């Protein structure tokens, strides 16, 4: 029995969905513990593409049980759409296969309206690059103790009272935008959702603890990446939740002493969607070629991802913040054909050398990367199935990543398919 957390080490989009899908084969339970439908995990299974925003990636394995933890903010319309799409592909989502925490907070229509209104009111150089899905305002209401929880859909009187109070306040906040919220419309809509979703609502913390005691292998699936963490990322250009491994416990109600391994998913280069500092960003033909070969478009937004060389500084930071026990290095195949590959090992702010991302966002925005250069390889990697079969320069690149992050590689991905994976060490084999 082992309990494993999978997190992103960069600015998200590292390929966590594929790694979670792979490791689900060794797990009994798969748990999503933070974020909302601003995250997207893309999987390619037998040539078929699946994109998930809320349901854990493990749902594709019919003998596994999936959980949405209390740390997730949930848009019921999006969740039901995902369920319907899976059913259309012959994968029925039942209460026996999916449990939703009664303490997960609901995204409401006013959260999306406030999200869009807030971004629209900012100057261009102050915009965060929000997806406009209401994630931040929903987490804001949670912290302000005004949120509505999933389990409260079971108590119509309580739901009515909380909804009425929220609509009164939000209509005042939205008054300048000309928007007006209808209590009856929203109430009716969410009661329709409740009828379909209440059978899935349970105490996830209790169920996970029962599973642990019964010897189940549990896999915790993070969304976004370490540099998007609300506390430890490039604030304010971050998401509205804690993306680091510690939140796997907080966001699911699982004791930290029971975590056995933490796998950090690290893309062989670096990407970022939206605004914010990105020291290794490339604005030349190399960046363009990486973007095209890597198919770098956001799974949730469709936005083109900014691309750059690997940033080992934030890799080191991810190892420290998450307590990584292993790496899953993804998209190594995308770098095939590059004659030289660069790795940022520190930053310069004027004459000052930095070995960690600074907390001052203006300082972070003016950083210049200090690179070391390594030799690339020309061979395509999509058919490689073992470490020994990788070109020597690709093996050296993997070894350099391990040395710089002080973290061993557990998994190397050389393509989007399940079979295009080199497993060096199974993180579930920890005991």
Tell me if the bond preceding 167 is cis, omega within 30° of 0: no
382 is catalytic: no
Which residue is catalytic, options 21, 41, 115, 141? 41
* Residue of 13, 75, 311, 333 marked active site: 13
**What are the CA-CA distances from residue 101 to residues 63, 64, 110 (Å)?**
20, 17, 22
Phi, psi (rounded to 5 degrees) for 213 = -65, -25
The total number of residues written for the chain in this structure: 431
What is the three-class DSSP state of 45? strand
How far from 10 is each of 175, 226, 316, 330, 359, CA to CA, in Å?
38, 6, 10, 12, 16
Beta bridge partners of 308: 270, 281
Angle at which helices 183-197 and 76-88 cross, to 10°: 40
Place of tokens 């966590």: 16
Please count the other Cβ atoms lying within 10 Å of the Cβ belonging to residue 59.
22
CA angle 60, 66, 68 (to 5 degrees): 125
Contacts (Cβ under 8 Å, ≥6 apart) of 377? 335, 336, 391, 392, 393, 394
Which of 330, 346, 270, 316 is CA-nearest to residue 22? Answer: 330
Q: Is 41 a catalytic residue?
A: yes
Closest to 85 in 3D by CA, of 58, 54, 50, 47:
50
DSSP-assigned letters across all residues of 171-220: HHHTGGGT----HHHHHHHHHHHHHHHGGGEE-HHHHHHHHHHTT--EEE
C-alpha 333: how far from its chain's center? 22
Q: How far apart are CA 207 and CA 398, in angstroms?
A: 39
Measured distance CA(216)–CA(205) in Å, rounded:
14
- Picking from 19, 12, 64, 3, the residue whose alpha carbon sits closest to that of residue 422 is 19
Contacts of 38 (CB under 8 A, 6+ apart): 53, 130, 131, 133, 135, 223, 224, 239, 300
Q: Which residues are catalytic?
A: 13, 41
């Amino acid at each position: 029995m082992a309990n494993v957390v999978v997190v992103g080490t960069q600015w998200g989009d590292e390929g966590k969905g594929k790694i979670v899908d792979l490791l689900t084969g060794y797990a009994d339970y798969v748990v999503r513990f933070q974020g909302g439908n601003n995250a997207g995990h893309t999987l390619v299974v037998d040539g078929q593409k699946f994109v998930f925003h809320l349901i854990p990636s493990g749902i594709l394995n019919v003998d596994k049980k999936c959980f949405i933890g209390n740390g997730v903010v949930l848009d019921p319309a999006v969740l039901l759409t995902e369920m319907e799409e899976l059913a259309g592909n012959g994968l029925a989502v039942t209460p026996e296969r999916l449990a939703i925490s009664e303490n997960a907070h609901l995204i409401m229509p006013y959260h999306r309206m406030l999200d869009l209104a807030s971004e629209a009111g900012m100057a261009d150089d102050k915009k965060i690059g929000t997806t406009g899905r209401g994630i931040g305002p929903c987490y804001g209401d949670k912290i302000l103790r005004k949120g509505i929880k999933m389990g409260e859909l079971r108590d119509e009187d309580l739901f009515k009272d909380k909804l009425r109070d929220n609509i009164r306040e939000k209509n005042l906040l939205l008054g300048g935008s000309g928007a007006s919220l209808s209590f009856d419309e929203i109430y009716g809509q969410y009661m329709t959702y409740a009828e379909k979703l209440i059978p899935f609502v349970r105490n996830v913390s209790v169920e996970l603890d029962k599973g642990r005691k019964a010897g189940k292998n549990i896999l915790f699936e993070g969304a976004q990446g370490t540099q998007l963490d609300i506390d430890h990322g490039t604030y304010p250009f971050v998401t509205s939740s804690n993306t680091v491994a510690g939140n796997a416990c907080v966001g699911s109600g699982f004791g930290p002493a029971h975590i056995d391994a933490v796998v950090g998913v690290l893309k062989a280069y670096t990407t970022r969607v939206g605004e914010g500092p990105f020291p290794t960003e490339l604005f030349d033909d190399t960046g363009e070629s990486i973007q095209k070969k890597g198919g770098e478009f956001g799974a949730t937004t469709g936005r083109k991802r900014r691309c750059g060389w690997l940033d080992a500084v934030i890799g080191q930071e991810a190892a420290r913040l998450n307590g990584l026990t292993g790496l899953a290095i993804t998209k190594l195949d995308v770098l095939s054909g590059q004659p030289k590959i660069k790795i940022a090992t520190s930053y310069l702010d004027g004459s000052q050398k930095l070995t960690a991302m600074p907390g001052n966002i203006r300082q972070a925005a003016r950083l210049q990367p200090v690179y070391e250069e390594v030799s690339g390889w020309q061979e395509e990697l999509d058919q490689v199935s073992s470490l020994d079969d990788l070109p020597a320069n690709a093996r050296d690149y993997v070894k350099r990543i391990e040395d710089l992050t002080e973290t061993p590689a557990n998994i190397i991905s050389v393509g989007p398919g399940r079979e295009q994976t080199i497993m060096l060490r199974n993180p579930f084999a920890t005991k």
